[in-house]
Amino acid sequence: MAEVSQGATVAVASIGQLAKTAVASIGQWGTVAWPAGGDPIDIGLAATNRASNAAAGITRLQLDNPANDSGTITAIDIYCGGAITSLKVGTFYNTGGNNYAERDSASIGPLSAGLNEITGLSIDVQSGDILGTYWPSGSTVDYDTSASSGIVYYVGDGFSGTQTYILASGLTMSVYGEGST
């Protein structure tokens, strides 16, 4: 490993690579707070206050921004139109055609109106997985028509087995996940 001097600019392919190859040198001249895990993973779209509210009782999978890597989702942001007692959130993969199966999930709640930032999760994710939600009753999760790919939905709880989903082009759910490899 090459010696890195204080104040030097270091080009790396990723933050994870820097952690794995240069943290010993950095530690010689300063303290670095490093997140647990490796490279960052993100999935889903920004959890923001959107124009419409999606009703309960339907499993929705966001097609835009599939997971960029494999690892663990540890945090979820979700923007709710009102209080939700219980919500399932998880990763899904395509089994062919319009069929999707859950890879892993967590049950969270209660959630309040507005932005909810949930941490401390451990949801398995593989590169290319998409993010899904289901809540049986209560208020709503924000959505709008700004996404290019849209969502697929299943009427009912799609968090077990393989289900056949229906495409709703252009919809964007306010659910976003982050984790690491």
Q: Beta strands 71-80 and 40-44: pairing type?
A: unpaired
CATH code where residue 89 lies? 2.60.120
Query: Are 148 and 114 contained in the same domain?
Result: yes
- Number of structural domains (the chain) is 2
- pLDDT at position 12: 37
Query: Are 148 and 174 contained in the same domain?
Result: yes
Distance of alpha carbon 60 from alpha carbon 111, whole angstroms: 17
Burial of 8 (0-12, 13-18, 19+ CB in 10 A): exposed
- pLDDT at position 48: 85
Q: Is the pLDDT of residue 54 over 50?
A: yes
pLDDT band at 34 (very low <50, low <70, confident <90, very high): very low
pLDDT digits (tens, 9 = 90+) for 92-112: 999 999 999 999 999 998 999
Q: Is the pLDDT of residue 25 over 90?
A: no
- Given CA atoms 83, 43, 107, 99 in this order, what sign does their dihedral have? positive
Query: Are 28 and 81 contained in the same domain?
Result: no
Query: Are 170 and 88 contained in the same domain?
Result: yes
Burial of 2 (0-12, 13-18, 19+ CB in 10 A): exposed
Place of tokens 């109106």: 113
Q: In degrees rounded to 5, what are phi and psi of residue 27? A: -60, -20
Find which of 31-35, 140-144, 156-160 is predicted with most confidence, using mean pLDDT: 156-160
Pick the more confident residue, 116 or 8: 116
Query: Are 159 and 87 contained in the same domain?
Result: yes
Pick the more confident residue, 109 or 75: 75
